Structure 1
């Protein structure tokens, strides 16, 4: 009995020892920022899971906080490190001691962040180590505005939590869109007025010791008008005077805005002078976004002048010249920052390559979009040309992509898989969730109907512990949405095939029945789960996945719940054609039915391309590989129009190919019959704006001069001059007007047939 009692006491002592949280040791003369970091660390569960002593201090303060034997070990190792560098940190462990040593106060905070995201079962592996940031500026844009998919529902405590989460991975600043932009003045979801929230977040960044970057578009109609210019300067001064902490000012040339360089530069010079009355150390940045070719050349000429008020240039979407091209043209005395769009999948700076039309139509432009491998590649591809970055974001749907950019900006040696695992470990308590992030990215590779990763990713997610956590719900929403769309895409294809099979037998009733077959029980169950997740995400983080239910500004702004049941076949169009045919006399129906059954099939020995479908456009010249040109500046890209099959448009009209700026859109044919003339049929279709297009064969023969689309869609047919096919091959190139600015888009071709007569 005595032995049993002793054993019980021993077990209790062991359990008690294991339950004792680590002791946090800080410098007695710690700065206010370091004290904020220490207070934050004490709130985190990770500290409670560590054991022994944890030292959190600047590198110069550490030795005085250690016992003699450990001090010697620390000094022997730390003396091998380089001289102190901004925001760098060192981690060292020995016995039951863990040392988090920053080269400055930010380094202390980022070292703590490393421990928070890497600690597992009370340990941090891979020590000792020393980390120096890869980029000096690692920031993310916040838009507290109606257009945004979530931030307009955030309270100040939510912004503070979000800021902390970003700092853990290495973020050293937030960029805030001023309450003067291309947006509504108010959102019905605002918990507080825009200026109050701006001031509150500015104070938060000051408290945590990170930067507050003000993004301030110039939105008045004409700054050549002295009255408008004076009104702008007065409005600007009121804002910067009211804002407690501003590290820098970012002014875009466009997107939004429209001021030419010769008027923009003097205006920014005067705004810079006003800014520095209240924030003397603030830096000033400008972009050439939206400029056309002539304006770009003037921009470069102005950059060649002495502009002592200007720090540098940021390069973002709607830029004719890439960050590499701009770095080459801008004098070295100016810094160059990248402003990458990490939020969007199409109609964007970095379109998802080969995005299946079913996903493009339903998940849309701003879905939950973890892309660890793609974003990692984009960062590394351009990293040599920028000195920092501010990612362009529209809310929380790009949450994973923010972590990728921040993590690489802090330590480029990390792989995408390691950062994905960190995301899982820190936010979801299990590094295995990183596999789910990579699986969701693979879900979008290749044809949706045959993608085996979609069910595998959902199975993997379901095998992991459920978390009561909005980030878990975002992954669950996307995994189920992908699976649901795969099921529906397969079923919709089968329904349409069955309808045409019935039409081949002149059975219109059977064709209608086939098109209206309901989803099976498993598919309906997925739909119910998706709706439930959308409701939780709105309640927990303000994510607006529906216009009607959750107040999203537009379906394109992440509200893809509204497209959950969108047709993925030509059901509406085909039903209308059947209505027309059934209204005809019986003898007149056969020819129309035969035409329906042929649909897009070319005549014998002809060719057909559905240019918006990567799997059905064999003659499209795609140009450089995505890996070498992720912006698609020198190649073709597929996209979709602002229409749906439920509008009565065919899928083949909704999807199209295009190219940017001066890059021609090209189709190339070989193996033509040299003895026969050919006919060309083109469907021009796409978004409501379109550019005048010139079509040239073999770089020599103009098939049609610059012409605007006369309807949407529009079918154009022509007989080709015999000489353009006489050599047995043919190149077709579509050109738009030269020197355009803006997005460079608008050269949109949906379908092309080439066939011998």
Structure 2
């Protein structure tokens, strides 16, 4: 009897599971919209739902004015405060912790009543309706043959952090935004909302003097249109507006205030003004705070609930202390809070010192890879010199880690961005600020399902994660780069309809670019090793012949390049991206603002060996006075990275060639930006650290060692904590410093090498001392 009951229970359980798993077909669904939803969301959310479904399915949902006309299947939008919608009770839950009754919270639930099926989107407020609609769009299975939910759902969410946004600066500096139309800005703003964003930050002033050649509208007009878009989607409109003049100049101060007020008057919606204290800007807070008060007085004339924020970027200790004394003494009720960005005091310290009544917003740089706030750690030199600061840079797991580290000290973020290349990072930041525990792979799957199609959602999610893995560790050792390329190549062939999708194009560009750089690196560095072998065998009588032959070998990188098919694909994808989303990957071809601004096409063939440097160094040989001196210099060039048995060489910021380096520079890979990125200097000198640390083991006790350093400026060396005096000390680029290591320090077979940082705070970072190459030479 017991077995029979268990068997019967199993049958019932399977039947229930089958019932629950039945998809909810929405091809004939009708929209029902509560009249209590505030305008304009009452129109925006249904329109967003209809348009996004129509794009993917060619189905246009109809909207009914009462439940009787809805038929068997409906999608109903209602507020949690609604008792009923067109005579049907709105599903309600009891309890103190109900997401759909919290600000911006929502619930999506399927309900079966007889033959009628309703997918409810229940929001606490207009934004709850917006984000509930976004949840539904992210989870629908949509293509030419289907419009359905995979099964019954009951999901409720409310955001963990109230500020979740991104800067979309319509300015010349951007690598793509400046080429967008109003329709593209609305579409992108909508997509940010679908993935949980509630804020957009514009850049209205100080960029109009040099209009972009890509502008579709004058900047003054576009910034008003962006405000109107935010009004439609009930998203906060922020302004980033630095003060780049001296505030004690009364005439300029008055003109600035009048310019601001004129803009405030025109804006349909304006919620926050963010004035960075520095980057750019160089005013003391004693001038800044009264100026912010005057801004606020003008702002609230037209936008009574709007707020004013300040960052402490670039402030000295004295200026930071002054700011907090000002808050303590004046307790300004017009001041909203502090923004923490690059160059600000530590985020935790700011929250600790900031009185509780003031907000704290993060301004993270999610757009750059080097020379930035959150650089790619241990990035291979080959990527740093070619992909540069603004490539397609999906960093889902790094983004989640960074966001999770700083978010608890803030009320949220509005991220710095200069283009669409960081699109995946935007989604990760927004979704994790909404739901901090949300699975990263799950986010990528939703991203791929919505922007690509359900058929490739899981595969594309894995492919995006693989692109991040391409950037982990030494490139030559990362065989996954080839696998990722083959993966995306196969996926591309299976999805020809996605060829015009700009997000798809970004993924393909990265997969092709990464593998091309890896193949070039392996090939070109092999040529360099062959050339150095030829130079190492030179004698005084064969020097000229050896130099000619060595240069011919190393320059085969230009004469007989590798993977021409992949190179052509990169060129084609860059053209496609310029056409589809205005991405400017080249200064001469696509009129990028500058070579640092995403112009990766201009560096796709930048040397990954030292052929330019070697050519220049060999040309200098004839200036040396004697054959012996020429041969000595040739031997130095040939043995630069191979100093011989018992000796060691480290390129201190190259993860492929610095095995003894234990530090990472503040900027992960500090790249010296010389000659618009096309420097002919030795590659190792273009990456550096200020104060590297190195550890040596298995040294020969009693052997005499010399430490040699290449770099620029000072190098205050310590060995095992002991400061040594140099025997050679040249400060110019391309020259050496040397120290003799006391025998007593090598008797244990180990050495610890460190460098004290010289006091150079008065110098621009480009003029500060740097260290690029370190040798431990056995004599």
Superposition TM-score tier, normalisation by shorter sequence: 0.7 to 0.9
Partner of 1:81: 98
CA contact (8 A) 1:292 1:739 kept: no
Partner of 2:689: 657
Distance in 2 between the 1:655 and 1:251 partners?
A: 33
CA contact (8 A) 2:585 2:600 kept: yes
What TM-score do you get using the length of structure 1 for normalisation? Answer: 0.87
1:380-400 CA deviation, whole Å, 9 max, x = no partner?
Answer: 122211111001100101011
Partner of 1:496: 528
Distance in 2 between the 1:282 and 1:439 partners?
A: 42
**1:28–1:739 CA distance, 2 compared to 1 (3 A):** same
1:702-735 CA deviation, whole Å, 9 max, x = no partner?
Answer: 758xx9x953345333446778778864442222
1:476-526 CA deviation, whole Å, 9 max, x = no partner?
Answer: 111111111111111111211222233345444442332232576871111
Number of aligned residue pairs: give it.
711
Distance in 1 between the 2:760 and 2:526 partners?
A: 44
Partner of 1:188: 213
Aligned residue for 1:408, secondary structure, equals helix
Task: Give the C-alpha shift of residue 569 in structure 1.
Answer: 0.3
Distance in 1 between the 2:93 and 2:350 partners?
A: 45
Partner of 2:169: 143
Aligned residue for 1:337, secondary structure, equals strand
Alignment of 1:244-255 (within 5 A): 244-255=268-279
Alignment of 1:516-527 (within 5 A): 516-517=555-556, 523-527=563-567
Partner of 1:599: 640
Partner of 2:224: 199
Equivalent in 466, 470, 482 of residue 502 of structure 2: 470
CA contact (8 A) 1:693 1:737 kept: no
Alignment of 1:337-356 (within 5 A): 337-356=361-380
Alignment of 1:35-184 (within 5 A): 35-45=43-53, 48=59, 52-61=73-82, 63-65=84-86, 67=88, 71=89, 74-75=91-92, 81=98, 84-95=101-112, 96-120=117-141, 121=146, 122-125=148-151, 127-180=153-206
What TM-score do you get using the length of structure 2 for normalisation? Answer: 0.84
CA contact (8 A) 2:379 2:668 kept: no
Alignment of 1:531-680 (within 5 A): 531-581=571-621, 590-602=631-643, 605-622=646-663, 637-643=668-674, 647-658=679-690, 665-669=692-696, 679-680=706-707
Cα RMSD (Å)? 3.1
> Are 2:443 and 1:402 equivalent residues in the alignment?
no
> Are 2:232 and 1:224 equivalent residues in the alignment?
no
Task: Give the C-alpha shift of residue 424 in structure 1.
Answer: 0.6
**1:269–1:747 CA distance, 2 compared to 1 (3 A):** farther
1:20-51 CA deviation, whole Å, 9 max, x = no partner?
Answer: 43111112444322222112212222684998
Distance in 1 between the 2:172 and 2:124 partners?
A: 40
Distance in 1 between the 2:390 and 2:707 partners?
A: 36
Distance in 1 between the 2:763 and 2:105 partners?
A: 40
Gaps of 5+ in 2: 1-23, 62-71, 539-545
Distance in 1 between the 2:422 and 2:587 partners?
A: 19
Equivalent in 309, 323, 328 of residue 334 of structure 2: 309
Equivalent in 709, 716, 719 of residue 737 of structure 2: 716
1:144-196 CA deviation, whole Å, 9 max, x = no partner?
Answer: 11111001111111100111111100111101112225x85311111111110
Distance in 1 between the 2:216 and 2:367 partners?
A: 24
Tell me which moved more, 435-444 or 719-728.
719-728
Distance in 2 between the 1:18 and 1:304 partners?
A: 59
CA contact (8 A) 2:99 2:106 kept: no
Partner of 1:24: 31
Task: Give the C-alpha shift of residue 347 in structure 1.
Answer: 0.6
Task: Give the C-alpha shift of residue 293 in structure 1.
Answer: 3.1
Tell me which moved more, 342-351 or 430-439.
430-439
CA contact (8 A) 1:701 1:724 kept: no
Distance in 1 between the 2:30 and 2:339 partners?
A: 44
Distance in 2 between the 1:262 and 1:139 partners?
A: 30
Equivalent in 405, 420, 440 of residue 467 of structure 2: 440
Gaps of 5+ in 1: 1-16, 624-631, 659-663
**1:499–1:742 CA distance, 2 compared to 1 (3 A):** closer
CA contact (8 A) 2:693 2:753 kept: yes
**1:243–1:696 CA distance, 2 compared to 1 (3 A):** farther
1:392-412 CA deviation, whole Å, 9 max, x = no partner?
Answer: 100101011001011112222
Aligned residue for 1:749, secondary structure, equals strand
Alignment of 1:502-513 (within 5 A): 502-506=534-538, 507-513=546-552
CA contact (8 A) 1:34 1:57 kept: no
Aligned residue for 1:562, secondary structure, equals helix
CA contact (8 A) 2:341 2:364 kept: yes
**1:419–1:742 CA distance, 2 compared to 1 (3 A):** farther
CA contact (8 A) 1:337 1:387 kept: yes
Equivalent in 404, 415, 427 of residue 380 of structure 1: 404
Tell me which moved more, 352-361 or 22-31.
22-31
CA contact (8 A) 1:674 1:725 kept: yes
Tell me which moved more, 332-341 or 672-681.
672-681
Task: Give the C-alpha shift of residue 64 in structure 1.
Answer: 2.9
CA contact (8 A) 2:716 2:723 kept: no
Partner of 2:42: 34
Distance in 2 between the 1:582 and 1:743 partners?
A: 35
CA contact (8 A) 1:253 1:291 kept: yes
Task: Give the C-alpha shift of residue 214 in structure 1.
Answer: 1.2
Task: Give the C-alpha shift of residue 237 in structure 1.
Answer: 2.0
Aligned residue for 2:149, secondary structure, equals coil
Aligned residue for 2:669, secondary structure, equals strand
Task: Give the C-alpha shift of residue 259 in structure 1.
Answer: 1.1
Distance in 2 between the 1:188 and 1:622 partners?
A: 43
**1:493–1:608 CA distance, 2 compared to 1 (3 A):** closer
**1:179–1:681 CA distance, 2 compared to 1 (3 A):** same
**1:94–1:459 CA distance, 2 compared to 1 (3 A):** farther
